[in-house]
Amino acid sequence: MKESIQEKGTLLLALVAGLSINGTCSALFSSVVPFSIFPILTLGLTVYCLHQRYQNRTMPVGLPGIAAACFVLGVLIYSSVVRAEYPDLGSNFLPSVLSVILLFWIGYKLRLRQQLH
Amino acid type, 62? G
DSSP H helices in 2-92: 2-29, 38-56, 63-85
Grade residue 3 by pLDDT with cuts at 50, 70 and 90.
Answer: low
- Condensed to tens digits (0 to 9), the pLDDT of residues 5-58 reads 788 999 999 999 999 999 999 999 988 888 999 999 999 999 999 999 989 888
Residue 96 scores a pLDDT above 60: yes
Q: Domain range holding 58?
A: 2-116
Average pLDDT value for the chain: 91
**Residue 75 buriedness (CB in 10 A; 0-12 / 13-18 / 19+):** buried
Closest listed residue to residue 20, CA positions, set 1, 3, 2, 37: 37
Q: What is the mean pLDDT of residues 63-72?
A: 95
Q: What percent of the chain has pLDDT over 90?
A: 70
Q: What percent of the chain has pLDDT over 70?
A: 97
* CA 6 distance to own-chain centroid: 16
First to last CA, the chain: 11
Q: What is the mean pLDDT of residues 73-94?
A: 93
Helices 2-29 and 38-56 sit at what angle, rounded to 10 degrees? 150
User: Which residues are CB-neighbours of 72 under 8 A, at least 6 positions away?
Assistant: 18, 102
Number of domains, the chain? 1
Query: What are the φ and ψ backbone dihedral angles of 5, each rounded to 5 degrees?
Result: -65, -40
What's 32's DSSP letter? Answer: S
Amino acid type, 35? F
